Amino acid sequence: MLAGSVREVKMLDINIGDVTAAYEGAVGIIWEMLMGEQIHVGGKEETDTLAEIAGVNPGTRVLDVLCGLGGPARHLARTCGATVVGLDATGRMVSEAVARTADESLGDRVAFRLGNALNMPFKSGTFDIVWGQDSWCYVTDKDRLIRECRRVAVPGGTIAFTDWIQTGPMSDEELHDLNAFMLFPYMETLDGYENLLRRHGFAVRECEDLSEDFASQMHRYRDALTGDLKDRIVELFGTEIFLDMERGIGLWARAADEGKVGRGRFIGRKQ
């Protein structure tokens, strides 16, 4: 395992504007085609698991940070009875999330805000659970992100999230190519996130490596891309974008096979 406290982090020059531009267009649509509207590994089953561990119950106030299309937010409202606010920086994602929520008549329990996760538009001590699924890897300043999560959580509140992480050493070139394809400024490690949580006053309840099935998920996405979805993606976005997605997901599948990248699940309590 990589030691998050001693490794040298090599940041790419990627900012929130780059990410929102991509997800306003082809990138966001293609990832939904591959993953479904939850746009994270494992879909509803993973959301259910995180909700059970985090303690999402009827009336729980949840903030979904970088919520995408709002799939998890609606699922938590439907299945757990939670009240959920989703925050995202991509206009298309928020607009689509609002529309889909209205279609499901969940507007009384689920709302969305367009905003920056590093400067959240919420009062301190607002939410029982601050939540994220596989999206904080896009954030440049994860230290500030965790600090903001602590600020908006109630005393004794919970932080619960999963994220893509670096799990093994690799060359600078390989790390660059993986991050550049996904538009990650950098990836944290399991230890790195645990250290950030402790630094910002969270008692860490869980810090679990979920990487065992990550490679199989990457291969599944690649197979779907090059199989049933290929003609549709080429028709919508052209051959160049299809080939770029095929190359990038292939890089991730290989790195996952070699134990270099994966996912982690993190649960903490605000002290």
Domains and CATH numbers, the chain: 16-270 (3.40.50.150)
Q: What is the pLDDT of residue 7?
A: 57
How does pLDDT run across 129-164, given as a tens digit for each residue? 999 999 999 999 999 999 999 999 999 999 999 999
pTM to 2 decimal places: 0.95
- Per-residue pLDDT for 126 more than 60? yes
The predicted model gives 27-38 an average pLDDT of 96
Percent of the chain with pLDDT over 90: 96
Q: How far apart are the first and last CA of the chain?
A: 27
Cα 75 to Cα 77: distance, rounded to the nearest angstrom = 5
How does pLDDT run across 257-267, given as a tens digit for each residue? 999 999 999 99
- Per-residue pLDDT for 3 more than 60? no
